[in-house]
Chain A
Amino acid sequence: MSVLNVHEAITRAHREQWGRVVAALTRRFGDLDIAEEAAAEAFATAVDRWPGDGVPPNLGAWLTTTATRKAIDRIRRENKRDDKQKEARMLYEDVPEPPGAIDDERLRLIFICCHPALAMETRVALTLRMVGGLTVPEIARAFLVQETAMGQRITRAKAKIKAARIPYRVPSAADLPARVSSVLAVLFLVFNEGYLATGPDTDPVRHDLTAEAIRLTRLVRALMPDDGEAAGLLALMLLIEARRTARVSASGELVTLGEQDRGAWDAALIAEGHRLVRERLAAGVAPGRYQILAAINAVHTSAHDVRDTDWSQVVALYDQLVRIDPSPIVALNRAVAVAELDGPEVALAAVNRLDSALAGYHAYHATLADLLRRLGRSQKSRAAYDKAIELAGNTAEAAYLIRRRDQLR
């Protein structure tokens, strides 16, 4: 095998096996810190050995065994007297894993990283590190935080999990819906940061983050096939990701849904997203937030031309969403659809009612600006564009808003 192929094998193994190795070691040693360090050492060993020895046939088992040895070495090195429990665990070192147990372990790992006793930003960082295998510098870069600060955040989280004894298990059936929704919120946050990246020097779309969020959501969906919201979130991400290349122009400007080249959309991702939405509709269970959002995106991606969009269906879905999530942001998005169905005048009345709740939100001012522009109220529209530009954190979005403002007569 060539050096290049070995390098590819290691990269792929890291993507596919990291979470499994960390999960298996966390269960055996009851310590995230030991599991993380030993997994990192096992991959470093692979980088050293595989080019000379060749890639082992069962690389998952090789990595777990190597990491387990590294962990045992570390525990022996530290040789703490109070490590009786860990010593006991080392005794059944070679007990084979029952089939299916590994997947269960990864689910435990996801639940512990997304535990509600941790701050949201900590959950995100811990999930990307432990389950996703991103390095601390990578996570720090993704969230525009100093590396040392990100390292400390992760270290503190691991210490809290240990000291407060956050349990390493899949929650009970009664707690499951709330805990799953915490996991999905973390994954959606990672996706959104990739999809609408903030910061003046950041690429407008961070494909690494959207791809990682989709990969982890696929995992959650595979581990919990009966969870409607996990399917809904995956469908939602796929249908948004499908439009990624059409969403930013060659000059780095945001292209709105209505102006996108629909031929550039990823047909395979759309087909997969539609399949998931249909599957959820067939389930006949009242849909949650992600499933409704996915259905809205399915309507958009079903139209080959923006003029073919079934806006009454979109508004009906937003009505359904408002009933379970009466937040002003949902009301704002509903108003955008209402503008297409009933005209900008009706939508403007709805948007004006959100003034006090959304005054600091760029999309509120951008929506207001667009409606005023369509109604020919240029002066007010310009002021709203100014405010939206001032508040927009995404470079492509700001570029789009500036052009629209400068086109006002």
Chain B
Amino acid sequence: MQYLVSVIDDTARLATPDEMAAIDAFNDRLQAEGHWVFAGGLASPSSATVIDNRGGRAVFTDGPFLESKEYLIGFWVIEAPDLDVALKLAADGSMHCNRKVEVRPFR
């Protein structure tokens, strides 16, 4: 079963070198223990472009989809047998990247 672990940020600052080192160590562990699927860090929301092509004519809008105080700054996709294992990994992930995370199962 796969879970998306979204990293939520409420500051504008990027990860510090210490945080980056901790994230790398955590990623190594995910790979070693077979939980790793994919992970990535994102650039700031101000670099986002919103596209709406539902009508067949793509409309591009500058900036994030939602103006919010909290936004997605990165994510992991992990493999875990159940939510208890996923929550434990996410708790460790939150500590390592020093941010709140949200766990959501894939359908």
Q: Chain A residues in contact with chain B, CB under 8 A?
A: 116-117, 163-167, 171, 175
Contact = CB atoms under 8 A, between A and B. Distances in A.
20 contacts: A116-B87, A117-B83, A117-B87, A163-B105, A163-B107, A164-B3, A164-B103, A164-B104, A164-B105, A165-B81, A165-B82, A165-B105, A166-B82, A166-B83, A166-B84, A167-B81, A167-B82, A167-B84, A171-B84, A175-B84
A164 to B, nearest CB: 5
A167 B86 CA distance: 11
A163, A164, A166: which has the most chain B beta carbons within 10 Å? A164
A117 B1 CA distance: 17
> Does more than half of chain B's interface fall in helix, strand or loop, or is it mixed?
mixed
Contacts, number: 25
Nearest to A165: B82
A165 B107 contact: no
Nearest to B1: A165
A175 B87 CA distance: 12
Contacts of A163: 105, 107
Contact residue range for chain B? Answer: 10 to 19
Given A165-B81, A165-B83, A167-B82, 16 more contacts: A116-B87, A117-B83, A163-B105, A163-B107, A164-B3, A164-B83, A164-B86, A164-B103, A164-B105, A165-B105, A166-B82, A167-B81, A167-B83, A167-B84, A171-B84, A175-B84
> Does more than half of chain A's interface fall in helix, strand or loop, or is it mixed?
loop
A164 B86 CA distance: 9
A46 to B, nearest CB: 34
Contacts of A116: 87
A175 B103 CA distance: 19
Interface string B10-43: 0000000000000000000000000000000000
B6 to A, nearest CB: 14
Contacts of A175: 84
Task: Please list the 6 inter-chain residue pairs (A to B) with the smallest Cβ-Cβ separation, ordered nearest first.
Answer: A167-B82, A164-B105, A164-B83, A165-B82, A166-B83, A165-B83
Contacts of B3: 164
B16 to A, nearest CB: 30
A165 B87 CA distance: 11
Contacts of A167: 81-84
A82 to B, nearest CB: 12
A179 to B, nearest CB: 9
B82, B83, B86, B87: which has the most chain A beta carbons within 10 Å? B83
Contacts of A165: 1, 81-83, 105
B92 to A, nearest CB: 14
A23 to B, nearest CB: 18
A204 to B, nearest CB: 40
Interface string B69-81: 0000000000001
